[in-house]
Amino acid sequence: MQTHAYPTPYAARLAARSGVLDAPTANVAPGYVQANLAILPRDLAYDFLLFCQRNPKPCPLVGVSEVGDPMLPLLGHDLDIRTDVPRYRVWEKGKLVAEVTDVSQYWRDDLVTFAIGCSFSFEEAMLAAGLPVRHIEQCCNVPMYRTSIATTPAGRFSGPLVMSMRPLSPKDAIRAAQVTARFPSVHGGPMHIGDPSLVGIKDIGKPDYGDPVEIRPGEIPVFWACGVTPQSVIAASMPDFCITHAPGYMLLTDIPNSDLAIC
């Protein structure tokens, strides 16, 4: 499902708040950082913050809230995390208990919001550099794979690294490695290139998440650390309570993608 673009991320957040925007957010606010969402109780927040510090490629934090405060002024004007994401998932003991467009009724004074960078930002940089992004061409979700590479554990959080894959010609793969490396806060450069079996992927045609995409003759698969990693790691730790975004329905921030380029 494709939605039209809003003039600003704030306009899109207000549309989400009022219930008008209830759709995946690709291209909803072009040029601005979108983020994966993990809302956890304070007693898990230190372990999760440390997990993100130790695994900056899959878990690049773009913002962390104050304890219990639903507002995120560092990420956007008037941003209320209880209402401004188009769709949420509410989890109890690792089980999905609700998928809703507003989590005000679930809010607690001990919750901490973690916003984690998303590949939409570096895909925009790839497209701007004239590089093809196959799943965008094919209008499907990016293929994602659980790999044999372990994340660095922190407290109650551990698990395998998930990688997303984009097929490219060798020449484009080199350029994509350069272009995306400039954006460490949205996963940065690739983690693997070529033979999928070297990172424990048995069948490139059967992703663990998302959709398979065509790999054309002469192309090689290029793998990036994926924002699904923190979600799968949180799910595996089965916290008593947790809120995430629904896949594809991201948090829209006021941060321009171009601000993330470090060089």
The contact set with its own copies (CB under 8 A) reads: 45-46, 49-50, 52-54, 61, 64, 74, 152, 178, 181-182, 184, 188-189, 262-263
Q: What are phi and psi of 144, to 5 degrees?
A: -130, 145
Query: By C-beta, is 190 or 207 nearer to its own copies?
Result: 190
Minimum distance, C-beta of residue 46 to its own copies, in the bound complex (Å): 5
Minimum distance, C-beta of residue 65 to its own copies, in the bound complex (Å): 10
Cα–Cα nearest to 245, from 67, 16, 2, 35: 35
The two tokens of residue 30 are 């072009």
Query: By C-beta, is 60 or 70 nearer to its own copies?
Result: 60
Query: By C-beta, is 88 or 224 nearer to its own copies?
Result: 224
165, 166, 240 from 215: Cα distances, Å: 10, 9, 41
Amino acid at 253: T
Strand order in 220-225's β-sheet?
144-150, 160-168, 220-225, 192-193
Minimum distance, C-beta of residue 94 to its own copies, in the bound complex (Å): 24
Q: Which residue has 């992927």 as its token pair?
A: 201
Minimum distance, C-beta of residue 174 to its own copies, in the bound complex (Å): 12
Is residue 219 exposed (0-12), middle (13-18) or buried (19+ Cβ within 10 Å)? middle
E strand or H helix at 224 = strand 220-225
For 69-74, which contacts have Cβ atoms below 8 Å and span 24 or more sequence positions?
Answer: 70/107, 70/113, 72/113, 72/115
Minimum distance, C-beta of residue 242 to its own copies, in the bound complex (Å): 18
Query: By C-beta, is 138 or 152 nearer to its own copies?
Result: 152
Minimum distance, C-beta of residue 236 to its own copies, in the bound complex (Å): 20
Query: By C-beta, is 123 or 145 nearer to its own copies?
Result: 123
Query: By C-beta, is 41 or 212 nearer to its own copies?
Result: 41
Q: In 10 A of CB 261, how many CB atoms? A: 17
Minimum distance, C-beta of residue 51 to its own copies, in the bound complex (Å): 10
Query: By C-beta, is 5 or 67 nearer to its own copies?
Result: 67
